Amino acid sequence: MSDKTKKRVVIAGMGFGGLRAANVLAGSNLELLMVDRNNYHLFQPLLYQVATAGLEEEAIAYPLRGLTRNWKNASFLLAEISGIDLSGKILQTDAGNISYDYLIIAAGSRTNFFGMESVEANAFDLKRLDQAEDLRNHILMMFERASRETNRLLRKALLTFVIVGGGPTGVEFAGALRELIVYVLSKDHPGISADETRIILIEAGDSLLNAMPVELREYACGKLRSMGVDVMLDSQVVGATVESVELKDGKNISTYTLLWAAGVAAAKIAGNIHDVVRGAGGRLLVQPDLTINGHPEIFVVGDMACCLVDGMPLPMMAPVATQQGGYAARAILARESGMGLPPFHYVDKGVMATIGRSSAVAAAAGFRIRGYFAWLAWLLLHLYYLIGFRNRLVVMMNWTYSYWFQERQVRLITAKKRRAVSI
């Protein structure tokens, strides 16, 4: 039962921003209610490793009720959020209406297909655990089917993998997939040579990892190409079918596997919130203190928030969400104490991306690192931010095993129902 003497803070979405806000508010004299459509927090930066058979699904997820049982005045509700009644201070869900005194909107983002319905219908994306498992099943099944295919052109299409988007997700997935093919799948299938496969990374801009310094972008591109990834810059996808990808210049690539990692937009709930100003990607425009104009009790954090700095929105990245979630929680506590906080200020702690075995790029605090030491820093940082000792231990053991034995243990086809492939 709700304690009516306590003010209620509702956190809508338990991604990086929501989780950080909950950690700050836990143990306070406020009633804390966390709402999410999943009963776990997902460490999205490692989803691509689930898709490439490197990690089990459970290793990058942590049950939210495992957190709330240790926090005073905190509870969790599994529900799908459908909208918000701003004037009535009501969060609308499929489990009923929820009243709030403060609301932190941290519902995250969805994949942005830029209105291309054919691409959305035929591409994989990586935002959820089930999508990662589906993609892993599909990749493994492509090798199973190619191993018995006698038609040369069809076999080539089955073994062609197209990735769209040259950001961290696309780069990391391309490198991990290439290593999976070279070190594992080509050995599992003696009739398929690694040289027979083709991984194509397509980027609309003139370089990969645009947030990185130029020399690190060039290093990442060169490293991927040396691994056997076909990097296509200044190329744009305009359509797709089950068996092909269409480029803007009129070329078609025969493939049964398309991963879309070319952009994100605010979660669909943003479109169900009326009388608010929106920015690019449907994000909600926020004030310097991360509140919605006219509603000081509502904070928006993470990918849902369009927070302008020098006229430009902050990037949709986990570090931004984490810092904003912490700020929103501290602002609520300060307000309840009769105090205030200065406007939110994002501290850029740098960016990094792994390319493959013993290779990564990182830029932070004026330092630019590449190769083995950047890769080691990437490993340690991701282990640090994982939730739960078990998850850290499992991930570390998987990475150690994969590094020394060049093996992937999670290459299981776990579902018989798969995306239609007319062959």
Which residues are annotated as catalytic?
172
Q: What span, in angstroms and rounded, lies between the C-alpha atoms of 48 and 316?
A: 18
* Residues 99-120: b if buried by 16+ CB within 10 A, e if exposed: ebebbbbbbbbbbbbeebebbe
Question: Phi and psi of 295, rounded to 5°?
Answer: -135, 80
Nearest to 267 by CA among 87, 47, 38, 88: 38
The answer to whether 390 and 162 are in contact (CB under 8 A) is no
Number of neighbouring beta carbons within 10 Å of residue 405: 10
